[in-house]
Amino acid sequence: MSLKSDVRVIVLDIDGTLCSLTHGVGSIYHELLRARGIESDRGVLEAEVRRVWGSFHDIYLNTTEQYRTTHEREREVWLEFVRRVCAAANLSCGSDPVVVESIYNAFATRAYRRVQEGAMEFLLRAREQGRMVVAASNNDARSKLMLEELGLHHYLAHIFVAGDLGWKKPSPHFYATLAARLHLEPSNILHVGNDRELDVEAAKRAGLTAIHYAPRGEAAEAGVTSFKELTALVGL
């Protein structure tokens, strides 16, 4: 794959691309509840997170309203997800707003996140060469706080979350608004993300160049499996 000569900015997805969780969401819930003296079953929570997410995904994307969103909606959606997981695991603490809020807030910190291997080196090389790198996520404002705690915000020209843009991927409006915020044409943007449909196919339909990032070796043509490969591909 050769990049278009008019690409002027690289946009990185955040969760699953720039950063990843240290371990499973259910295991994290288990640890957070245990810290509050609440007993739970790690395996049950892991299973219920997966099961609840299967029926919750369209709610998260807000498919019924063509992927529109706000900061307020993003926050309430994730709080509701915590409540549903706790209820599915037969934990009464899901009705305790203090517990639900504490679980929600924990994901705004660096405690359960790690920077993807090679990502920091990629950002450093981009800055040295004067290349603009931006982060953009389908998730909520916690992603900004987390990147600040990790220190990555120093290497990013901008950080956008869905609430900032008013839309979620795969809406073409997500990408159009992103381009407008950057004062660029969509064709000037390279988007890199780990979700083939949301980050790659949707971005291409919106007129961007897109690369699939698949660290588990699942990238096909026009994809990379590491930031080392991405560094070479974009010529850093």
| pLDDT digit string, tens, across residues 122-169 | 999 999 999 999 999 999 999 999 999 999 999 999 999 999 999 999
Res 223: pLDDT: 87
Beta bridge partners of 133: 10
Provide the residue ranges of all domains of the chain, joining segments of one domain with +: 9-20+114-233, 23-106
Res 192: pLDDT: 97
Mean pLDDT of 36-60: 97
Beta bridge partners of 136: 160
- Its pTM stands at 0.94
Question: What average pLDDT is seen over the chain?
Answer: 94
Q: How many Å apart are CA 29 and CA 80, to the nearest integer? A: 14
Check whether 2 has a pLDDT greater than 60: no
Q: How many Å apart are CA 229 and CA 226, to the nearest integer? A: 5
Peptide bond connecting 172 to the previous residue in cis, omega within 30 degrees of 0: no
DSSP character at residue 68:
B
Enter the CATH code of domain 9-20+114-233. 3.40.50.1000
| Domain 23-106: CATH superfamily, name plus number | Haloacid dehalogenase-like hydrolase (1.10.150.720)
Mean pLDDT of 163-189: 97
Check whether 215 has a pLDDT greater than 60: yes
